[in-house]
Structure formats: C-alpha cells, structure tokens
Amino acid sequence: MQLRYFLLPLLTLPALRLAAQQAPTPLDTLNARALPAATVVGYGERLPLRRTAAAVGVVDNTIIQRFNENSLASAVNTLPGVRLEERATGSYRISVRGSTLRSPFGVRNVKMYYFDIPFTEANGTSPLNILDPAQIGRIEVLKGPAGSVYGAGTGGVVRLENRRPTPPVLAGAASQGQAQVGYSVGSFGLRRFTAAVEQSKANGDYFRAQYAHQQLHGYRVQSALRRDVFALDGQTSPTDRQTLAVHALYTDLYYQLPGGLTRAQYEQDPRQARPGTAAAPGTVAQRASYASQTGLLGLTHEYRISDKWRTVATVYGRSTSVQTPYLVDWERDAILGGGGRAALHYRGLLAGRTLRMQGGGEFQASFTDSRSYQNVGGAPTTLRYDDEIRTRTGFVFAQADYELPAGFLLTAGASYNRLRYQIARISSAATNPTGYGVERDFQPQVSPRLALLKELTTNISAYASVSTGFSPPTEAELRPSDGTISQDLQAERGTSYEVGSRGTLLGGRLVFDMALFDLELRNTIVSRSNAQGIQLFANAGDTHQRGAEVAASGWLWQPPTPPDAASPAAGLRAWASYAYNRFRFGSYESATGQQYGGNQLTGTAPHTLSVGLDFSQALGFYLSPTAGHQATLPLNDANTDYAAGYWVFGSRAGWRRTLAGRLSLDVYGGVENATDRRYSLGNDLNAFASKYFQPAPGRNWYGGALLGWRW
C-alpha cells in the first residue's frame, strides 16, 4: 500500500468528527465526563467500537434529526468515505469507497440488512427508497469487503434499524408508552405527516408502529414523489432464555424521473426535464416514472442455550410489484422472494483468555416475472419480451475472535459463496426466439478475512486487516433493458488492506477515528449507456482504490451541568469528517480500443468534507449549521468531462422540550443549500450524448412540529 498518497491530507486535517458516537450527555467544564462509547454489531459480535478491527461508521437518530427528514442523504454523507446520492427524488444510490462505478441507478455492490433481515434482494439490488427517513433510528456502515460474514460484495455492508422506544425512565416502572404525531412543510410542495405509537418494558421487550406519508412536487419538472410507509416492530421474551422479534414493512411508492441533462441544458435551466424530439420523446412525453408496492415480513429468534452458547435465526419473505415507464420501454415486474440466516455463537475461555466464535449460513431465493413493453406516451403497447428469472444465492461462514496477551485481539474468518441465475425468455418480439434461456452458475468463492487489533492505551486502539470479497453481477446487469442477456459478464473480485486507529483524547472530550486503505479490484464492472439511455455493463480490467478517512468530534464549550436532570444537553460541539480518495483505473481497454489505464475512477471525487456545529442550551433551543464539500469529479471513463466541485451550506434550528414529564414538543425550521448553489448530486456516468447532469434542488426551506405524549 502506497502510504505516500495519504500523508499530505492527514498532516493538514483539522479535528474531525467520529460519526459513530452516541448522543452526548452534558459535561461539566471543570469535571468533564467521557463521551459514551459506541457499541456496534460489526462482524456479527456486539463489541465497543474501540474493540472493532474494521472501518465502521454509525449514523444514529440524533444525526438524522439534525437535517430535513425528507431524505437520508445529508445524514449519511456525514460519514467519511460514504456518499448517498439522489439522481431523482427518491432514486437513491450509495457509494462506499468508490462503489458508485457500477451503480448508475439503485444500490448495488453494497450488502444491506434491515435489522437482521437480508434487505438486499437475491438479485443483488437494495430498494433503499422504500424506507422513510423518519422510521430509521440507526445506520451502521462497514466499509470495504465484508464477505467473511456477510457474503458477496466488495463495496461494504449497511445495517439499518428503525427507531426503538425509550426504555422506562421512572425508577421501578415496569413499562412506558408514548404516542407521537408530526407534520412538516417545505419548498417545492413538500408535505410530510408521521404518526407513531410505542410501548416498552424494563426487560427490553417493546412494540412500535409507525406510519409516514410524504409528497413532493419536486425541484425539477417531472420530479414529483408520493410515498406511504407503514412499519411495525416488536420484541418479546417468551422465557428467560428466548427472545423473539418481528419486523413488518409495507410501502406504496411513486416518483417521477426527470432524466439527465447536457451541460448546456443544465446551465440554461436546471429545473427542466430531459427534452425530446418527435423521433425521440423526452421524459415528460413518455411519463417516465417508477411505482412499486412492497411488503416485507421477518422474524428473528434468539435462544441462549447456556452462558456460553446461543443461536440466532432469521426468516423472512418479501413481495414486490413494480411498474416503470422509461424513455423507450415500459417494465412490469412481479417479484416474490424469501430466505433466512442462522448463526451459532460461542463465548468462553481458551488458555484463560476470551474466545468468541460464530458460524452459520444465509440463503436467499427469488422468482421474478418481468415483462417489457414498448412505451408510447407513458402507456405499455407492444410486448418486447417476457422473462422469468429464478435466483438462488447463499453462503456459509465461520469466524473466531481471540483475546491475546498485551492487549491484542485476533480475528479470523471466511465464507463460502454460491450464486445461480436461471433466465427463461417465455416470449419475445425481438431477435431472441421464444423459449430462449440462459443459466449462469457463478464459480464458488471463498472470502477470508484476518484482522489484528492492539489497545495502545485504555482509550486508544489501532488495527490492521486484510480481507477479500467478490461481487457477481446483479440481475439488472446481466439483463439490461435493451433486451439482451449477457453470458460473458463475470464477477469482480477484490482484496483490501487497511490500517486504522480510534479512541478518545483530552479526558473524553475529543473522539477520533482514522483509516488508511488500499482496495485492489479485478474484473471491475463498469457501465455505459446507449443512444436510448439504456445502461449496459462490461468487465474492464482492474482498479486501484487507495484512500484515507478521518473523523472527529469534540466539545468547544459547555456550561456547568444544570441541577435539573431533565434539562436538555447544553453546550457547543464541533464535528467534521474528511475523505481523500486516490482511485485509479489499472489496465483498462474500452470497447473501442482506447486505453484508460491511470485515469481517475469515474464518479468519485478525490476530496469530500463535511463539517458542522451543534449548539443547545438548557431551555431547549438548538441550532445545527452544516457545510459540505465535494471536489471536481470525472463523469466518464475517458476523463474528458468533469462535474465542478461545490460547497453547500444548511442549518436547522428549533426548540425541543418535555413539559410536565409527559408532553414532548419539538418545533423546528431549516434551510438547505442556503447559498443557492447550482450542482448535480447523482450524475449519470458515461451517459450517451453527454447527458450527465441531474441537478439538485436550489435554496429550499422547511419547518414543522413533532408532538408526543408519554404514559
């Protein structure tokens, strides 16, 4: 790993933020208490973040609530090395250390979990847009290959959890309940309504039901959104040794697709939709949009066999219906999937030192009936093709963590992975005959990981790790919208080398986290679009993705702790996160024979920065200004077109208070993109006719209130 690429940015960084910390408690400036240590799931073992030998970032409820809850992008982008983008309202894609390269739309090459339920479908895609930001209470991101425990993927792992009820706060109380309603309005027709009811018990059992409705006219023409989400979560303990959790989700989603613009169109009017001609209608004429109805149900059972042994098993089922008019085709998909995950955990002693082991497996299967029609004015007409796709994927894994002398912790793990697609073309109006079928059975892969952590002091640790991963093509990459079925596209493989350190300084007032990494990818999958705007995919040599990530958070000022324990936290805290990316193509010859070796990785900025302040005072008033920066980035593999770098500023302010111990009130307002900066968030990479730009909203405002009653 070439550390010379990292030294300059590290030497010039200011104090940066650790996004993984929990909400701070009030500190006395003369007698400061340490910030509470974060606990993460990590690689399947709940350990303090300081004892986790991996790059892990956490976005908790306090971070989500400091932004407008119409989108998760601002909150997630506080993590170094992670970028959540919106090509259109509700159309998310996420990049972890450069994984945007093969994600022109949707979330790919990043494995996602919803609680313990595999959220990434068997076909490799993750429908992040079916979740409402207000329901999310915690996002945990593992950066880099995590195949030793989580299977296929070279980008990373994202674990999502909904908000959990507050445990009973009164001494001796057996249970506590709360009901909340919220309403907010904003620019471009934003309207949001949320309602939730919850009940919690002292033993950890809980129940929470939440409904969220959001509608938006949109910043651009043809960018309206409507989303209704109902989430139900509960946990009960039938016996002292058992815990049963249930998670149900239903989402009805619709949003319009404005399409990409050329640079000239973007500079002339960023609010326009993609224009068209009589021969090639634009997105308005074709009524380009996405609509889906999704139901998800999962059950997780934990059984504590003894003090040393326990099992955790999850089963789930999901059903999705999708209707999508694009520029050329009109797609209708019916998807039925399910699967499960099971693990056996052990915690005991070996030679007098703690040994933790886990082993298990995960299996997913899905059936998709996918029909593509010719799109004429937003209506399906002539059938192009009718496919039935059966997907089966799974892996088995094992991992051990052993506490060595002198404060060392050794972790070793590996998984064995399988993936199989069966695509049957039932009927077709194209050149492929009816009955045409393809079966892709990808070669089994073993993904090992080895990590070593050392506690340098009681507050600081350092770690080093080597991990491998493989990422097979998704079903959308094997079977793009032009009707072809690829038989040549291969899985990409990667090896990641990483060193890092994290901990606290200044008596717990300053928390820091830093990492250096080198991810070497082979058979890298890249995308490009044809004249109809359809994305096509190919393997393109290899890439060298080297970078540095630093984050920190600390108190600048705090008054003495108020005598009223129920008063909100008070003080002024600063945070920041920075990522430096030196991502380059290695050996890469394009389809036209051009050599792109040494070029910057498409769609990834070499520098990203997020900084902010959190001010609050004892009466409940708070202010949270934020600034974000992204440097210039290449829009195509040839590095001939670039998107300009930009700074954006925003802030949220309000008054949050609990009255009479039962009534909670949060009245707030905020501004985003305060300087009305013109920029594109979620560029279309390698776009045909240079239609790269998906303009982000200009200056916009929002405000609302959240009212709760506790019993």
**Residue 580 domain flag:** yes
Point out which residues pair with 517 in neighbouring strands.
498, 547
Q: Examine residue 289 and state whether it is found in any structural domain, yes or no.
A: no
Pinpoint the alpha helices (H) of 47-172. 61-64, 73-76, 147-150
Per-residue tokens: 454: 């050392």
Spatial CB neighbours of 328, under 8 Å, sequence gap ≥ 6: 374, 375, 481, 532, 533, 534
Segment 63-119, tens digit of pLDDT? 999 999 999 999 999 999 999 988 888 888 888 988 776 665 667 788 999 999 999
Predicted confidence at residue 533, as pLDDT, reads 63
| Number of structural domains in the chain | 1
Q: Are 399 and 411 in contact (CB under 8 A)?
A: yes
Q: What is the pLDDT of residue 32?
A: 35
Residues 6 or more apart whose CB falls under 8 angstroms from that of 304 comprise 241, 242, 310
Asked if the model's pLDDT at residue 26 lies above 80, the reply is no
Q: How confident is the model at residue 430 (pLDDT cuts 50, 70, 90)?
A: low
pLDDT at 103: 63
- 18 domain residue, yes or no: yes
Q: What pLDDT, on a 0 to 100 scale, did the predictor assign at position 102?
A: 66
Residue 288 within a domain: no
List pLDDT tens digits, range 524-535: 887 777 666 677
CA-to-CA distance for 40 and 45, rounded, in angstroms?
A: 8
Confidence of residue 439 (pLDDT cuts 50, 70, 90): confident
pLDDT digits (tens, 9 = 90+) for 234-277: 999 999 999 999 999 999 999 999 999 999 999 999 999 999 98
Query: Tell me: the pLDDT tens digits for 115-162?
Result: 999 999 998 888 999 999 999 999 999 998 888 899 888 888 999 999
Q: What percent of the chain has pLDDT over 70?
A: 90
Alpha carbons 401 and 260: distance in angstroms, whole number: 48
Task: Assess if residue 290 is contained within a domain.
Answer: no
- Around Cβ 2, how many Cβ atoms within 10 Å? 9
* DSSP 8-state assignment for residue 476: H
Q: What is the pLDDT of residue 549?
A: 97
Whether 155 is covered by a domain: the verdict is yes
Tokens of 81: 């090395």
Q: Identify the pLDDT of residue 399.
A: 96
Model confidence, pTM: 0.90
The two three-digit tokens of residue 124, written as one number = 């490799």
CATH number at residue 617: 2.40.170.20
Residue 561: per-residue pLDDT: 62
**Domain-embedded: residue 214:** yes
Return the pLDDT at 33: 35
pLDDT confidence of 431, banded at 50, 70, 90?
low
Token pair, residue 287, equals 């009524």
Give the pLDDT mean for 551-580: 79
Q: Is residue 295 domain-resident?
A: no
Enclosing domain of residue 429: 4-283+303-710
pLDDT at residue 498 tops 60: yes
Instruction: Give the pLDDT mean for 642-648.
Output: 96
